[in-house]
């Protein structure tokens, strides 16, 4: 690990920064953060304007815009059901997007690139909390192995370009995220937005019960996306090393505890019913984020505050 070669970022507010996936959960939070910090030259393209799976379009875009800094927050993303149901999409689209963006960024002279992976890169039964060097030490969780393989390829691609080309490509591995602009799809989303929507609709419709998937026993570590955006900007400034860095809150809850907190925040007064025909996925994936902490980064938003803020955002922006 090293931090000595980081390109100056914080003080270069007119730098051309390409944030891919800027309308998603993570990309929009990074744009908010960079805007707050005073960055004036963000390069943003919607999926419709630039399909990142199309290699020649991506090459033409980089050749004409020449971003100096690149953040790879565009990806095919979804929860346990989506990952399990669309394995071809999750491996192919993610490999295409990340390969096109990383290679074009390098070939067109970007100073630095940050690639985002996910805690699902680690073996299903990794030691807890999971250190970075647990990567590739055991079999993956089957519900998301296709996505995980693509993400592992992204980390390795950054490492390979760093080694062969001396290029400043780094990777961050976020834990489960949530916040404004999350995907609230009833089936394809992650657990937290799925439950927020389900509890809200049950409250509004006067339903007596809400169905929650699995057994409720899996543990998950949640991080508010504003904390993740803060970590991304922090890493762009402070970190330059071959090893990927974990980004987590260090706090885990069971899915049952999450459901109960959500019920309280939303104000649903009925019962929870567990659908054990749905997969639990990995039993536990608490990451060891001490390397990032040692560089000076800490998360700020508690899960309770984050749930309250995200529900407020949901009421103002999503509900019909
Ligand atoms: N959400 C989470 O809990 C976690 C997320 N991450 C990582 O963070 C990153 C961002 O995830 P998140 O913000 O949640 O995902 P979202 O689905 O919210 O956002 C992804 C963005 O990528 C865009 N995108 C997808 N395909 C293409 C394409 N072919 N061309 C151009 N743009 C495209 C989407 O646009 P459109 O919607 O128009 O297709 C969307 O704006 C991903 O790498 C993910 O793996 C890591 C750990 C946890
Ligand atoms: C971030 C991470 O996200 C995915 O992994 P995951 O952590 O398993 O994600 P999840 O949020 O979908 O589920 C967490 C837990 O919650 C339970 N659960 C209950 N009720 C609902 C529910 O209604 N929806 C969902 N999705 N899950 C539910 C569900 O059964 C599971 O036990 C990866 O595929 C991959 O995308 C990845 O990297």
pLDDT confidence of residue 7: 57
Q: Is the pLDDT of residue 5 over 70?
A: no
Q: The whole model's pTM is what?
A: 0.97
Three-state DSSP at 173 gives: strand
pLDDT, average across residues 65-91: 98
Three-state DSSP at 120 gives: helix
pLDDT band at 9 (very low <50, low <70, confident <90, very high): confident
Q: For ligand 2, say whether the CB of 278 is within 6 Å of any of its atoms.
A: yes
Q: How far is the CA of 21 from the centre of ligand 1 (A)?
A: 6
- Mean confidence (pLDDT) of the chain: 96
pLDDT, average across residues 113-125: 98
pLDDT confidence of residue 1: 45
pLDDT band at 4 (very low <50, low <70, confident <90, very high): very low
pLDDT confidence of residue 264: 98
Other beta carbons less than 10 A from residue 260's beta carbon? 15
What DSSP designation does 130 have? Answer: B
pLDDT, average across residues 237-261: 98
pLDDT confidence of residue 104: 98
Measured distance CA(90)–CA(188) in Å, rounded: 12
pLDDT band at 123 (very low <50, low <70, confident <90, very high): very high
Q: What is the b/e burial string over 67-87, where b = at least 16 CB atoms within 10 angstroms of the residue's CB?
A: bbbbbbbbbbbbbbbbbbebb
pLDDT confidence of residue 126: 97
Q: How far is the CA of 79 from the centre of ligand 2 (A)?
A: 5
Q: For ligand 2, say whether the CB of 193 is within 6 Å of any of its atoms.
A: no
Percent of the chain predicted with pLDDT > 70: 98
Q: What is the pLDDT of residues 19-48, one digit of tens each?
A: 999 999 999 999 999 999 999 999 999 999
pLDDT confidence of residue 260: 98
Closest listed residue to residue 63, CA positions, set 107, 16, 18, 17? 107
**Which residues, 6 or more positions from 231, have their beta carbon under 8 angstroms from its beta carbon?**
172, 174, 247, 292, 297, 299
pLDDT, average across residues 126-149: 98
Under 8 Å between Cβ of 301 and 182: no
Give catalytic residues, as residue numbers.
Answer: 147
Q: What is the pLDDT of residues 255-270, one digit of tens each?
A: 999 999 999 999 999 9
Instruction: Walk me through the domains of the chain, giving residue ranges and CATH numbers.
Output: 17-179+223-250+286-301 (3.40.50.720)
Q: What is the ipTM of this complex?
A: 0.99
Tokens for 238, please give them: 């402070």
Q: How far is the CA of 73 from the centre of ligand 1 (A)?
A: 6
What DSSP designation does 168 have? Answer: E
Query: Bigger pLDDT: 34 or 4?
Result: 34
pLDDT band at 2 (very low <50, low <70, confident <90, very high): very low
Q: Where does 142-185 have alpha helices with state H?
A: 145-165
CA-angle at 317, arms to 203 and 179, nearest 5°: 85
pLDDT band at 176 (very low <50, low <70, confident <90, very high): very high
Q: What are phi and psi of 121, to 5 degrees?
A: -70, -20
Ligand 1 atom 10, closest CA: 73
Closest listed residue to residue 179, CA positions, set 22, 25, 19, 23? 25
Cα distances from 226 to residues 28, 64, 266, 301, in angstroms, run: 10, 31, 21, 8
């Amino acid at each position: 690990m090293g931090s000595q070669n980081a390109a100056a970022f914080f003080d270069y507010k007119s730098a051309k920064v390409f944030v891919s996936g800027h309308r998603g959960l993570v990309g929009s939070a990074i744009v908010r953060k960079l805007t707050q910090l005073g960055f004036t030259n963000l390069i943003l393209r919607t999926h419709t304007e630039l399909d990142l799976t199309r290699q020649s379009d991506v090459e033409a875009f980089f050749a004409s815009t020449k971003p100096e800094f690149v953040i790879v927050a565009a990806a095919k993303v979804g929860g346990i059901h989506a990952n399990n149901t669309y394995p071809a999409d999750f491996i192919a689209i993610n490999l295409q997007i990340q390969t096109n963006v990383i290679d074009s960024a390098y070939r067109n002279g970007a100073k630095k690139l940050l690639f985002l992976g996910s805690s699902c890169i680690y073996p299903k039964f990794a030691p807890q909390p999971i250190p970075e060097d647990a990567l590739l030490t055991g079999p993956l969780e089957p519900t998301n192995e296709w996505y995980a393989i693509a993400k592992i390829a992204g980390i390795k691609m950054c490492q390979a370009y760093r080694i062969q080309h001396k290029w400043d490509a780094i990777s961050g591995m976020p834990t489960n995220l949530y916040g404004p602009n999350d995907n609230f799809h009833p089936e394809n989303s992650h657990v937290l937005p799925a439950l927020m929507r389900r509890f809200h609709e049950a409250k509004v419709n006067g339903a007596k019960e809400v169905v929650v998937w699995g057994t409720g026993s899996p543990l998950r570590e949640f991080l508010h996306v504003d904390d993740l955006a803060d970590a991304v900007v922090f890493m762009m400034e402070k970190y330059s090393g071959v090893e990927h860095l974990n980004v987590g809150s260090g706090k885990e809850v069971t899915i049952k505890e999450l459901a109960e907190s959500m019920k309280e925040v939303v104000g649903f007064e009925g019962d929870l019913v567990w659908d054990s025909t749905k997969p639990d996925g990995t039993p536990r994936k608490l990451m060891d984020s001490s390397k990032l902490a040692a560089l000076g980064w800490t998360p700020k938003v508690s899960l309770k505050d984050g749930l309250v803020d995200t529900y407020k955002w949901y009421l103002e922006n999503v509900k019909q």
